[in-house]
């Protein structure tokens, strides 16, 4: 579930910002007062037990013996070392998966509903260990603990249960053809699949150079978030803020290009700066903290370099723009105004807590500018005019468009982008197409009279 910094990356759906805190049966620090609910707390000093490679249902050391050090980005502390897999380890995993996929294997012979039951069982286990997993995620990536608990892990659980429900519902069709034949379709699994994070362009090139294997790519984004003057301003400011600063800005869906209509531009900037300055930075395991560190030094350096480019190229730095704290990889929440489309911060995926706010004057203008990018993952539109909402959402070149909301994700909804933001779709029924082949079977029927 770690976020990755590169433009060409595959990102699991760790997104979404609207969530409800479920009722807890234990007391909170506020006692038993009605309406007060206890928040979950991180596991103190969680054990890090599993650092080996999981292949063929067993834990293995890497063939090379090499290990990768894992650091806590909030403190710089070494958390553990994990086995570093290379080509030989991958081959072992592929051989194991192919064996499990063979006709007559226990998995292939299993009733489809039983496969669904196993996915639901996995969801139950994730839910059981939710506190531990959220704690480890916060330590490893710097993600705020409550976000990991309520957003990432809830999304993981819901996704497993959603596809557990699909396991026995993938149907073919009968097709009316010439009366001498009976034709039907089967949706068959494509076989062993691998998921690689990041290197998208390289993967597609390698697939073409080798055996033309099918590739589904979920890549980066430089997503426009368009705010019209007739919107609910306070709500739009908050949604634009969370749509960018979620997960320290390390999100492919981040609404990093905020286009604001001229009549409300200055007020929108003022409120956005006020909201950014209100953020609480610190140890992501502590209550009250809503921004943790960036995931690693490489990403920290990239973000700081792009912030400096914004200053050099003439954008107005409204707040932030510097490292924060005496240790760890923290960056102040940063807001730029007076950003023009030719600046690097307006064109490159920053993947950090850096909001760019641009001014526009007409619907036609903002559509043209919003689409003037190599990416096309997501977009937002804030307006109380339904005609404007439908016109703009239809014109935007993006795989997902949110109207009067942002990052509204669900396991049922397809996730993916246009242009250089990827190929294919994850989540929802559409994702099943990426993992199945359609086989047409035609049988000659005897025409003899009885």
Residues annotated as catalytic are: 218
> Can you tell me the distance from the alpha carbon of 138 to that of 152, in angstroms, rounded to the nearest whole number?
11
Counting every residue written for the chain, the total comes to: 450
Give the up-direction half-sphere exposure of residue 379: CA atoms within 13 A in the CB hemisphere: 27
DSSP state for residue 152 in the 8-state scheme: I
> Can you tell me the distance from the alpha carbon of 143 to that of 135, in angstroms, rounded to the nearest whole number?
9
> Can you tell me the distance from the alpha carbon of 422 to that of 86, in angstroms, rounded to the nearest whole number?
26
426 in Cβ contact with 409 (< 8 Å): no
> Can you tell me the distance from the alpha carbon of 65 to that of 83, in angstroms, rounded to the nearest whole number?
7
> Can you tell me the distance from the alpha carbon of 118 to that of 57, in angstroms, rounded to the nearest whole number?
15
Q: For residue 340, what are its two tokens?
A: 């023009």
Backbone angles phi, psi at 99, to 5 degrees: -65, -40
Q: For residue 418, what are its two tokens?
A: 């246009």
> Residue 2's closest CA among 94, 122, 82, 89?
82
> Can you tell me the distance from the alpha carbon of 435 to that of 96, in angstroms, rounded to the nearest whole number?
19
Q: For residue 130, what are its two tokens?
A: 């939710």
DSSP state for residue 28 in the 8-state scheme: B
55 in Cβ contact with 93 (< 8 Å): yes
> Can you tell me the distance from the alpha carbon of 407 to that of 18, in angstroms, rounded to the nearest whole number?
8
437 in Cβ contact with 170 (< 8 Å): no
């Amino acid at each position: 579930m770690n976020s990755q910094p590169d433009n060409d990356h595959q990102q699991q759906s760790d997104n979404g910002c609207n969530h409800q805190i479920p009722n807890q049966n234990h007391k909170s620090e506020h006692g038993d007062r009605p309406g007060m609910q206890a928040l979950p707390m991180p596991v103190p000093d969680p054990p890090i037990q599993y650092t080996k490679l999981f292949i063929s249902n067993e834990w293995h050391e890497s063939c090379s013996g090499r290990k990768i050090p894992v650091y806590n980005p909030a403190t710089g502390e070494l958390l553990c070392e994990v086995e570093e897999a290379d080509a030989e380890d991958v081959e072992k995993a592929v051989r194991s998966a192919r064996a499990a996929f063979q006709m007559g294997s226990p998995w292939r012979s299993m009733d489809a509903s039983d496969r669904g039951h196993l996915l639901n069982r996995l969801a139950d286990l994730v839910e059981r260990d939710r506190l531990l997993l959220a704690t480890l995620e916060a330590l490893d990536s710097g993600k705020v603990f409550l976000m990991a608990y309520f957003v990432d892990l809830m999304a993981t659980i819901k996704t497993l249960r959603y596809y557990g429900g699909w396991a026995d519902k993938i149907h073919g069709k009968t097709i009316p053809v010439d009366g001498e034949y009976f034709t039907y379709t089967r949706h068959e699994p494509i076989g062993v699949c691998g998921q690689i994070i990041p290197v998208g362009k390289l993967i597609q090139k390698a697939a073409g150079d080798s055996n033309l294997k099918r590739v589904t790519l979920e890549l980066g984004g430089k997503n426009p978030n368009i705010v019209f003057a007739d919107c609910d301003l306070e709500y739009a400011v908050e949604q634009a803020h969370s749509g960018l600063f979620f997960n320290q800005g390390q999100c492919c869906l981040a609404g990093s290009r905020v286009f604001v209509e001229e009549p409300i531009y200055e007020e929108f900037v003022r409120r956005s700066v006020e909201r950014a300055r209100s953020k609480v930075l610190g140890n992501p395991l502590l209550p009250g903290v809503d921004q943790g560190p960036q995931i690693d030094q490489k990403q920290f350096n990239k973000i700081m370099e792009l912030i400096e480019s914004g200053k050099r190229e003439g954008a107005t730095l409204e707040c932030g723009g510097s490292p924060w704290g005496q240790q760890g990889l923290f960056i102040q929440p940063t807001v730029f105004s007076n950003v023009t489309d030719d600046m690097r911060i307006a064109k490159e995926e920053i993947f950090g807590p850096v909001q760019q706010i641009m001014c526009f004057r007409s619907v036609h203008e903002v559509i043209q500018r919003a689409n003037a990018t190599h990416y096309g993952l997501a977009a937002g539109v804030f307006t109380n005019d339904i005609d404007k909402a439908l016109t703009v959402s239809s014109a935007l070149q993006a795989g997902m468009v949110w109207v009067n909301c942002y990052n509204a994700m669900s396991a049922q909804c397809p996730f993916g982008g246009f242009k250089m933001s990827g190929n294919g779709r994850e989540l929802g029924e559409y994702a099943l197409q990426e993992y199945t082949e359609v086989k047409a079977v035609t049988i000659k029927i005897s025409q003899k009279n009885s």
